[in-house]
Structure 1
Amino acid sequence: MAFSFTSPTFKHWGVTAEQIRELRTAINEVEFVNPTGKHGGLGSTAAHNELLKIIDSSKDYNMFVRRLNNWANYRLKGGVEALPDGLRIKK
């Protein structure tokens, strides 16, 4: 997932530009469910808006990661496993 458009928030949380680069997913690898689609297609705008809301409503990076994992379970094909390893909550 690319979050460069929200980098001031991540910077405030202490996340570096290098970490953001390492934690992103190539656009062509992003596939959605509920509804089924790909980046730029059906469901893409809704998914982006949901991600922005998660970022804006999270008090810190840890809260963001928890919420992102919950979101991934119902919006990404493959669920949490579709997230970059560094964004997955380890159980």
Structure 2
Amino acid sequence: MFVSPYALLATARTLFTTQARLFSSSTPLSFPKLKTHSGTKKRWRALASGGFKRAHAGHSHLNVSKRPGRKNRLALNAHSNAAQEPRLKRLMPYS
């Protein structure tokens, strides 16, 4: 029985377009990829406990007019509170 090459091409085209093609069976499909918020990425760091920390603003320049105690407090890290953590986890999904 003779089958034309055009018929074979048509059947192959329908097979490939109707079936979903999986490119890798080892990795689960998790689309779409989530993007990390750039401003959050620059300002916050994730902690092993699940919280986040950041630096205080205003510690870099114009320090002559600031009291020493204020400069010491600005040098410390600030930690996220319970109200900020769900939003930070959404903004930094892979941290």
TM tier relative to shorter chain: under 0.3
Computing the radius of gyration from Cα coordinates, the structure with the larger value is 2
Using the size of structure 1 for normalisation, the TM-score is 0.20
Structure with more strand by fraction: 2
